[in-house]
Amino acid sequence: MTRGYAPATHDGVPDLAARGVSCLILGGPGNGEGDQQALLWHAQKMIEAAGSARKELKIFTRAEGGYHHCQVDNVNIGAAYMWDWVAEVLQAQR
């Protein structure tokens, strides 16, 4: 696999499947339900296109906090979620 950005499909979503991306993927931890900067459907399409055996899309809700872009209403929740996800993945590989 070559380095760099994945080619985009007709709707602008990176074509991860065409690039053979098969690594573990956690998508959307910068997204919230009320995000007005990043397109939620964009994150959903990228996760769908990835050929990973383990992939997850996390969109934060108003109720849990992290509702806005990059969780500006609760900055720690996104980082905590990512580190917990990494720990879970590494534990599963032991």
pLDDT for 18 equals 53
More confident residue, 40 or 29: 40
pTM above 0.85, yes or no: no
Whether 53 maps to a domain, the answer reads yes
For the record, the structure tokens of 15 come out as 């074509």
Whether 82 maps to a domain, the answer reads yes
- In tens, the pLDDT along 39-85 reads 888 788 888 878 788 888 889 999 988 888 888 888 899 889 999 99
Q: Judging by beta carbons within 10 Å of its beta carbon (0-12, 13-18, 19+), is residue 69 exposed, middle or buried?
A: middle
For the record, the structure tokens of 73 come out as 């209403």
Q: Please give the tally of structural domains in the chain.
A: 1
Whether 51 maps to a domain, the answer reads yes
Whether 52 maps to a domain, the answer reads yes
Whether 11 maps to a domain, the answer reads no
Range of the domain at 32: 25-92
Q: How confident is the model at residue 5 (pLDDT cuts 50, 70, 90)?
A: very low
